[in-house]
Amino acid sequence: MEQKEVFSGKTVEEAVEEGLKELGVTREEVDVEILDEGKKKLFGSIPAQVKLTLKPKKTDGERAVAFLEGLFKLIGVDVVPTVREEDEKIVLDLTAAEPNKSLIGRRGEMIDAIQTLAGAVANTGRRDYKRVVVDCGNYREDREETLKRVAEKLAAKAVRLGKKVRLEPMNPYERRIIHSALVDNPDVTTKSEGKEPARFVVIIPNNLRPYEKRDRYGKGNGRYGDRKGGRDGKYGDRKGDRYGDRKPYPKRELPAEGTPQSSGTSLKRSGGSYKKGGFSGFFGTYLGNSRDSEGAEPSETPETPDET
Taken in order of first residue, the domains within the chain and their CATH numbers are 6-54 (no CATH), 60-137 (3.30.300.20), 140-205 (3.30.1370.50)
Q: Give the DSSP letter string of 166-192.
A: EPPP--HHHHHHHHHHHTT-TTEEEEE
CB-CB contact of 81 with 94 (8 Å): yes
Cβ atoms within 10 A of the Cβ of 169, count? 16
Per-residue pLDDT, 242: 57
Mapped onto helix, strand or coil, the DSSP state of residue 201 is strand
Q: What is the mean pLDDT of residues 142-168?
A: 95
> Hey, what's the torsion of the CAs at 106, 107, 110, 113, to 10 degrees?
-150
Which band of pLDDT confidence, cut at 50, 70 and 90, is reported for residue 156?
A: very high
pLDDT at 308 over 50: no
114 backbone dihedrals φ, ψ, rounded to 5°: -65, -40
pTM value is 0.53
Mapped onto helix, strand or coil, the DSSP state of residue 118 is helix
192 backbone dihedrals φ, ψ, rounded to 5°: -100, 140
pLDDT at 288 over 60: no
Q: Which residue has the higher pLDDT, 277 or 155?
A: 155
* Average pLDDT of the chain to the nearest whole number: 76
pLDDT at 107 over 90: no
pLDDT at 138 over 70: yes
Q: Is 114 left (phi over 0), alpha (psi -120 to 50) or beta?
A: alpha
**DSSP collapsed to 3 states, 120-154:** HHHCCCCCCCCCEEEECCCHHHHHHHHHHHHHHHH
Query: Which among 234, 181, 226, 225 is positioned nearest to 203, based on CA atoms?
Result: 181
Query: Which among 134, 141, 131 is positioned nearest to 88, based on CA atoms?
Result: 131
CB-CB contact of 182 with 205 (8 Å): no
Q: What is the mean pLDDT of residues 114-126?
A: 91
**Any idea which of 5-14, 109-118, 121-130, 209-218 has the lowest mean pLDDT?**
209-218
Per-residue pLDDT, 192: 95
pLDDT at 108 over 70: yes
The DSSP 8-state label assigned to residue 93 in this structure reads E
pLDDT per residue as tens digits for the range 58-77 = 889 999 999 999 999 998 88
pLDDT at 275 over 80: no
pLDDT at 158 over 60: yes
pLDDT at 229 over 50: no
CB-CB contact of 277 with 265 (8 Å): no
